[in-house]
Amino acid sequence: MSRLFFVAVAVAMMTVSASSCGSRASHSHHQHNQEAGETHAHIRVEANCGMCKTRIETAAKGVTGVSSATYDLQARQLHLDFDASKTSLDAIAKAVAAAGHDNELHRADDAVYAALHSCCLYRN
């Protein structure tokens, strides 16, 4: 658990460092709440519509340990609360990519992406 906390702190420090430099690169944000045992994070996920929102949230919530997944379509941000002893941001991002949505950690398989409804195709 202390190793995971160290990783969360390191990522938070990189986030602060990147934003203080004026960087506009997308990055994940972690906030660890030791008392509740939950980690809050958000990642950028590509999507176009309400069907995408539902698919992304369903994929994330399907990962054991995820207690909350809410996708903000306008901001293209997936907000997550999860038990870091049961899963990781990487595992959640893989599940979202497996559902057809590129994100800052993983790219969706081309065949899965191509099978999405035409209004869900976000790649140029």
Q: Give tens-digit pLDDT for 13-42.
A: 333 333 333 333 344 555 545 445 799 999
Which conformational region is residue 22 in: left (phi greater than 0), alpha (psi within -120 to 50 degrees), or beta? left
**Domain boundaries, position 116:** 2-120
Residue 80 CA: distances (Å) to CA of 76, 86, 98, 122, 124: 13, 14, 17, 22, 27
CATH number at residue 37: 3.30.70.100
Where does 2-82 have alpha helices with state H?
2-20, 50-61
Which conformational region is residue 7 in: left (phi greater than 0), alpha (psi within -120 to 50 degrees), or beta? alpha
Count: domains in the chain: 1
Q: What is the pTM of this model?
A: 0.73
Q: Which residue has the tokens 């941000």?
A: 77
pLDDT single digits (tens) 80-118: 999 999 999 999 999 999 999 999 999 999 999 999 999
